[in-house]
Amino acid sequence: MDFLGPQEWQAVALSLKVSFWATLLSLPAGIAVALVLARTRFPGHFLLNTLVHLPLVLPPVATGYLLLLTFGRQAPVGGFLSEWFGIVFAFRWTGAALAAAIMAFPLMVRAIRLAIEAVDPKLEEAASTLGASRLRVFATVTLPLITPGVIAGAVLAFAKAMGEFGATITFVSNIPGQTRTLPTAIYTFLQVPGAEGAALRLVAISVAIAMAALLFSEWISRRVAARIGSP
């Protein structure tokens, strides 16, 4: 007998898909924002920092509703993307990925920012004095040193995306096979008498995936740190 039924496998596969794309597509922006917050000071610095961390303190349902107002089919941004590029977020798995990315973004930025702040700026300045451009300094000096932080931020974002519920169900609903992720599937099974076993199995899968992601992150971070520290 299979451990999971078809609907449960759908929820697991969709959650992995949503979390993967949410993490991958938000990572470049996360690195850029973390670099700006860690290495620059400008009049809007506090405002940018506040906006980045706003999803952490806002109710997830409020975030989902704001996404619906912005990216719904009748909303200004959502209507434009749908009409001109055929990109639809509301009530699609792409919307679930967008909601997960926004909710996970603060954790990603914070981990990467801490890694950047731990890098001695004198190392970057030394590379600059040798004639390296800013981009080259970042690619050859900064990025290798902050790689463990980038990995940690990506794993935190992935884990947060896997567990995102409030913003997702508000923005894309709970459509089987389309937007029903692990958290919404667990919630659904808990509302059905006699389906507690399915909910428990999905909880076990969630724990296993989260632990595997953390162990993988630790393994990669140790390998990168050892390589950087080796002569």
Q: How does DSSP assign the chain, residue by residue?
A: --SS-HHHHHHHHHHHHHHHHHHHHHHHHHHHHHHHHHH---TTHHHHHHHHHHHHHS-HHHHHHHHHHHHSTTSHHHHHHHHHH----TTSHHHHHHHHHHHHHHHHHHHHHHHHHTS-HHHHHHHHHTT--HHHHIIIIIHHHHHHHHHHHHHHHHHHHHH--HHHHHHH---TTTT--HHHHHHHHHTSTT-HHHHHHHHHHHHHHHHHHHHHHHHHHHHHHHHHH--
0.85 surpassed by pTM = yes
The reported pLDDT for the residue numbered 1 is 39
The reported pLDDT for the residue numbered 228 is 61
% pLDDT > 90, the chain: 61
Whether 203 is covered by a domain: the verdict is: yes
- pLDDT tens sequence across 117-145: 988 888 888 888 888 788 888 888 899 88
Whether 1 is covered by a domain: the verdict is: no
Identify the domain containing residue 42 by its residue range. Answer: 6-229
Examine the pLDDT at 70 and tell me if it is beyond 90. Answer: yes
Examine the pLDDT at 230 and tell me if it is beyond 60. Answer: no
The reported pLDDT for the residue numbered 46 is 94
The number of domains in the chain is 1
- pLDDT tens sequence across 22-58: 999 999 999 999 999 998 998 999 999 999 999 999 9
Whether 142 is covered by a domain: the verdict is: yes
- pLDDT tens sequence across 165-203: 999 999 999 999 899 999 999 999 999 898 889 999 999
- Mean of the per-residue pLDDT values for the chain? 90
Q: The domain spanning residue 192 has which CATH number? A: 1.10.3720.10
